[in-house]
């Protein structure tokens, strides 16, 4: 397959409500679509995104890296595997995994469409047609958190993730309010987004040990692996890493130090499907659980993520990729169906969705590289 043209398209869609986590606030999407065309005129789409306060670069930087470095690195190149693609991208520039994810997904969409297959089929065997999803409660008042959790449980979500990490006392009240308002069968996870120091984390989680949490995610800064290892050792509740793990090298270090019982694998954060597969394989070989996290993707990104989940058996249920309903609009003709808290895997070739070009034009924003 030869890539003959490509373009990065920055997209801004407002969120229905501001999304608040310990490290920052999100008011609209920071997405960049990648459109690649092969020598037969087949178009592949990838979506990637960022969140400045979490990942350290903004949409303009993502667009710039894609437009000036990574897309030119693949134009005119014959690419027959994702491994080859990533070698090309890494030769051009190091790091920039979120930008590389956009190209990885577009190439994967192209490869699948060229063979007339759904994307999961170019990754591996399919293990499921339905992907259980988590509900999400961001940093809101305990009463608002409780109401939101009840509503999401009523929609069929069996797992709910509650954001914490901003104010210890309110965090405890928020999580307790949610625990008391949904039935015991609903699993709860909490995510601190690096918001605590060691002392605060120990104080908060020793009070949450009785709440039956599925796991506690990234309460400490990304760099504090010694602190994470200390918490993992002292707490009965499993500890998950997110901001500490981008690459397989990060994951190996966390696992070797005892800093991770569970690894959060996100398609944009980790650089696309090829690298996510490597991470999942490492977790499996190391006997460590892993799950599919999200970066509040719109439908093209969500589609790629659920194909990955469906073709990667050791990804633990439920997946955290319910971005599209949080936005005021979407970019596709055919949204992914979510039934009883589970996404239905698209069956059309490639991502299995149809991009709405009119919406792409409408939400495209002017960004100079």
Residues that bind Mg ion (CB under 5 A): 191, 242
Q: Residue length, the chain?
A: 369
Query: Residue 224 or residue 242: which is nearer to Mg ion going by CB?
Result: 242
292 within 8 A of 265, measured Cβ to Cβ = yes
Query: Residue 65 or residue 259: which is nearer to Mg ion going by CB?
Result: 259
Tokens 């920055």, residue? Answer: 10
Query: Residue 242 or residue 261: which is nearer to Mg ion going by CB?
Result: 242
Residue 232 CB, nearest distance to Mg ion (Å)?
A: 16
Burial (Cβ within 10 Å: 0-12, 13-18, ≥19) of residue 349 = middle
Q: Are strands 338-339 and 130-132 parallel, antiparallel or unpaired?
A: unpaired
Residue 202 CB, nearest distance to Mg ion (Å)?
A: 20
| Nearest position to Mg ion, beta carbon | 242
Query: Residue 3 or residue 295: which is nearer to Mg ion going by CB?
Result: 295
Residue 322 CB, nearest distance to Mg ion (Å)?
A: 14
Alpha helices in the chain (DSSP H): 52-55, 59-65, 71-74, 82-92, 97-115, 119-123, 142-154, 168-181, 198-208, 225-234, 248-257, 267-270, 273-286, 299-310, 357-363
Residue 163 CB, nearest distance to Mg ion (Å)?
A: 9
Residue 32 CB, nearest distance to Mg ion (Å)?
A: 21
Query: Residue 242 or residue 278: which is nearer to Mg ion going by CB?
Result: 242
Residue 301 CB, nearest distance to Mg ion (Å)?
A: 16
Q: Return the structure tokens found at 15.
A: 């969120």
Query: Residue 110 or residue 263: which is nearer to Mg ion going by CB?
Result: 263
For residue 119, the Cα-to-chain-centroid distance in whole angstroms is 17
């Amino acid at each position: 397959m030869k890539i003959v043209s490509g373009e990065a398209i920055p997209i801004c869609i407002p969120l229905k409500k501001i999304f608040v986590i310990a490290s920052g606030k999100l008011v609209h999407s920071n997405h960049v679509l990648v459109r690649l065309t092969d020598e037969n005129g087949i178009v592949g789409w990838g979506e990637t995104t960022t969140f400045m306060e979490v990942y350290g670069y903004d949409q303009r930087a993502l667009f710039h890296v894609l437009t000036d470095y990574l897309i030119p690195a693949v134009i005119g190149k014959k690419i027959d595997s994702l491994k080859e693609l990533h070698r090309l991208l890494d030769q051009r520039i190091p790091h920039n995994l979120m930008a590389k994810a956009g190209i990885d997904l577009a190439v994967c969409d192209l490869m699948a469409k060229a063979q007339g297959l759904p994307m999961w089929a170019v990754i591996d065997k399919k293990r499921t047609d339905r992907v259980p999803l988590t509900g999400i409660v961001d940093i809101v008042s305990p009463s608002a958190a409780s109401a939101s959790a009840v509503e999401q449980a009523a929609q069929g979500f069996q797992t709910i993730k509650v954001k914490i990490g901003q104010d210890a006392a309110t965090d405890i009240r928020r999580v307790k309010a949610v625990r008391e308002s949904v039935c015991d069968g609903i699993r709860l996870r909490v995510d601190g987004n690096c918001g605590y120091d060691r002392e605060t984390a120990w104080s908060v989680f020793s009070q949450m040990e009785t709440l039956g949490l599925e796991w506690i995610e990234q309460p400490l800064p990304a760099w504090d692996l010694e602190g994470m290892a200390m918490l993992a050792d002292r707490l009965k509740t499993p500890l998950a890493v997110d901001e500490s793990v981008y690459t397989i090298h990060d994951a190996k270090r966390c696992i070797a130090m005892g800093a991770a019982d569970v690894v959060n694998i996100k398609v944009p954060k980790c650089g696309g499907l090829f690298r996510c597969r490597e991470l999942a394989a490492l977790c499996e070989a190391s006997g460590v659980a892993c799950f599919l996290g999200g970066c509040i993707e719109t439908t093209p990104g969500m589609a790629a993520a659920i194909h990955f989940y469906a073709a990667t058996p050791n990804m633990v249920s439920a997946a955290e990729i319910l971005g599209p309903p949080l936005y005021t609009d979407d970019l596709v003709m055919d949204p992914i169906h979510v039934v009883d808290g589970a996404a239905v895997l698209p069956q059309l070739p490639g991502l299995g969705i149809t991009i709405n070009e009119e919406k792409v034009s409408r939400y495209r924003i002017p960004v100079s590289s």
